[in-house]
């Protein structure tokens, strides 16, 4: 990735100068969150993605439409605290779905695949 050129810097300065004080405050908060807040380690990030059923960060990012450089960055630096919360929610949702399937199958004695297939849903 090439270093930003003078036109890129000029464009950034123009955007900042045209921003409202509230926008500048939000940009400063974002910079603070990413530069100073504790991040989830790369190993823990890979573990979360594994719990979501993916074999790699590359596969996860590709599946949800994120560009490859995001997987590379997460692999190197982990994810922000905000993304950790999102990953935690996704893992919890996946666990709750698995528990619901187990409960359904225990009550009906019918496999969920059979149940959905019987109703023409899959």
Q: What is the pLDDT of residue 34?
A: 73
| The pLDDT of residue 5 is above 80 | no
Q: What is the pLDDT of residue 47?
A: 95
The neighbouring-strand residues paired with 79 are 40
Residue with tokens 């009550």: 107
Portion of the chain with pLDDT greater than 90, in percent = 41
SS3 at position 67: coil
Average of pLDDT values for 41-56?
94
Q: What is the pLDDT of residue 69?
A: 95
Tokens of 5: 């050129």
Average of pLDDT values for 107-114?
76
CB 39 within 8 A of CB 31: no
Q: What is the pLDDT of residue 2?
A: 60
Average of pLDDT values for 22-38?
79
pLDDT bucket at 118, cuts 50 / 70 / 90: confident
CA-wise closest residue to 53 among 63, 44, 40, 43? 63
Q: What is the pLDDT of residue 91?
A: 92
Identify which has the larger pLDDT, 93 or 30: 93
CB 87 within 8 A of CB 48: yes
Residue with tokens 């698995």: 98
Among the residues of 1-122, which ranges form H helices?
6-18, 21-36, 42-51, 57-64, 68-77, 81-108, 112-118
């Amino acid at each position: 990735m090439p270093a930003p050129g003078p036109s890129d810097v000029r464009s950034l300065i123009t955007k900042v100068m045209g921003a409202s004080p509230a926008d500048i405050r939000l940009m400063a908060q974002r910079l603070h969150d990413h530069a100073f807040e504790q991040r989830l380690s790369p190993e823990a990030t890979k573990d979360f993605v594994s719990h979501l059923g993916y074999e790699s960060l590359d596969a996860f990012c590709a599946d949800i439409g994120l560009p490859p450089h995001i997987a590379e960055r997460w692999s190197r630096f982990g994810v922000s605290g905000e993304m950790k919360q999102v990953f935690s929610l996704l893992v919890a949702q996946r666990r709750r779905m698995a528990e619901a399937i187990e409960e359904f199958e225990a009550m009906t004695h019918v496999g969920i695949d059979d149940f959905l297939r019987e109703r023409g849903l899959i």
